[in-house]
Amino acid sequence: MSDEEKNIYAEPAEIDGDTLANLGPLRALAGVWRGEKGVDVNPKEHGPETRSFIDHIELQPIDPQTNGPQLFYGLRYHQHVISPGEAGTYHDQTGYWLWEPATETVIQTLSIPRGQIAMAVGKASKDARFFELVAKRGETTFGICSNPFLEEAFKTLAYRIAVTVHPNGTWSYEEVTTLQIKGTDEPFAHRDTSLLVNIGAPTPNSLALLKSTKG
Ligand code: HEM
């Protein structure tokens, strides 16, 4: 059936409520994580500044979500970053990682308290140990939306994240946020990398818990 012929209200007939069992490549990210090897390259008035940082990331399974026939399994996340020797938050981010089994697609939504949101997309097989997602300014799907000051002064052209799951169960990310900074010619590559070590198991989603108590 072509997309045009699909009933946009028709939900999938059978949905397994156990998200942890259906997360595809995102299964390896579920849980609570700490990263002590973060490196950030950010824009400063007189050039790039490189700093180390410490990550705390919590990724918890949510109940399966449908848009009519479309089915997502996902993780809700909160990333909190501090920089050694600096008071307060260095970076904060919330959103969802979503997996669409039918199309082998991974989506990340992100929201950061600079007044900025983005949604990135990439393809990955069910067992992938590496996947890469991209969001681009100006797109109405998988785009970037910034508050007017950022749009004027630090125009965010693109966001890219590559995730690698390592054989010992740790995982790492490499992010590049491309900024067109007012008064400069060349785009600036705002880079962030970190290696995450597990410090806690995920809490099963509510439908999965219901299933396990019903037996
Ligand atoms: C671990 C991830 C990240 C860390 C640690 C981080 C950290 C930083 C830092 C320290 C600055 C400089 C702030 C200042 O001097 O006032 C900055 C600037 C910026 N970041 Fe990030 N960032 C991260 C990820 C992101 C992401 C994912 C985006 C957007 C998709 C983003 C967008 C921006 C923008 C637009 C600026 C320019 C505004 C400014 O310099 O005041 N950052 N970031």
Give 17's pLDDT tier (boundaries 50, 70, 90): very high
- Mutate which of 175, 177, 180, 196 for ligand 1 pocket (most atoms within 8 A of beta carbon): 177
Sequence-ordered list of residues with C-beta below 8 angstroms from that of 166, at least 6 positions apart, any chain: 129, 172
Give 4's pLDDT tier (boundaries 50, 70, 90): low
- Take residue 75 and report the two structure tokens written for it: 């993780």
Give the residue from 104, 109, 125, 99 showing the smallest Cα distance to 161: 109
Give the residue from 90, 131, 122, 128 showing the smallest Cα distance to 103: 122
Q: What is the residue type of 5?
A: E
Cα separation, 122 vs 200, whole angstroms: 27
Q: What is the pTM of this model?
A: 0.96
CATH number of domain containing 207: 2.40.128.20
- Take residue 178 and report the two structure tokens written for it: 């491309």
Q: Ligand 1 pocket: which residues have CB below 6 Å?
A: 40, 42-44, 53, 81, 90-91, 112, 114, 116, 118, 150, 154, 156, 159, 175, 177, 179, 190, 192
At residue 69, φ and ψ (nearest 5 deg) are -75, -10
Contact predicate 193/50, CB 8 Å: no
Distance 66 CA to ligand 1 centre (A): 32
Question: Whole domain around residue 31: which residue ranges?
Answer: 3-214
Instruction: Please report where in the chains the tokens 């904060």 appear, as a residue.
Output: 92
Distance 197 CA to ligand 1 centre (A): 23
* 93-146 per-position pLDDT tens digit: 999 999 999 999 999 999 999 999 999 999 999 999 999 999 999 999 999 999
Q: Whose CA is nearest to atom 22 of ligand 1?
A: 91
Distance 42 CA to ligand 1 centre (A): 6
* 160-207 per-position pLDDT tens digit: 999 999 999 999 999 999 999 999 999 999 999 999 999 999 999 999
Sequence-ordered list of residues with C-beta below 8 angstroms from that of 44, at least 6 positions apart, any chain: none
From residue 198, give the alpha-carbon distance in Å to each of 32, 33, 170: 6, 5, 7
Q: What is the total count of domains within the chain? A: 1
At residue 42, φ and ψ (nearest 5 deg) are -125, 160
Distance 211 CA to ligand 1 centre (A): 41
